[in-house]
Amino acid sequence: MVLESRRFASPDLKHEATVEAVDNALGFGLGAIYDEVHVWVPGATFQHGDSDSTAVFYAESAYPEGVGPTVRWLNPHRLVIQYPEKNPPGRMKSEMLGISITYEAVPLEAYAAAQSASEP
């Protein structure tokens, strides 16, 4: 079950990065929450989970609620994924659909500081 989903279009609008928090136990509380990033072509479909070919990032969510991976397009062919360094990902693809993907592990404290700075 998808708990949260955020979509980020590439600057040329030809691709999209989708960041999701997914409960792998269909909401019954028996499994774990995973963070996923998919890179795909708008209009196409993808499946949730690390087995889907569009999943470029996949990690068990082991940090406080509201903290998870973020994405930033540098240009239409370069994507940066930031994630809390506390929990290393199980999947980190470096390329998808001609898009170069780089990763930045960020200390958990940096996420907390960014959140408190953005609050009114």
What DSSP line would sit under the chain, residue for residue? -EEEEEEEE-TTSS-EEEEEEEETTTTSSSS-EEEEEEEE-TT----SSTTSTTEEEEEE--S-TT---EEEEEETTEEEEEEETTS--SEE-SEETTEEEEEEEE-HHHHHHHHHHH--
pTM across the whole model: 0.85
Per-residue pLDDT of the chain (120 residues; tens, 9 = 90+): 888 899 999 999 999 999 998 887 655 556 688 899 999 999 898 887 778 899 999 998 876 666 789 999 999 999 999 998 877 898 999 999 999 999 999 887 776 666 555 544
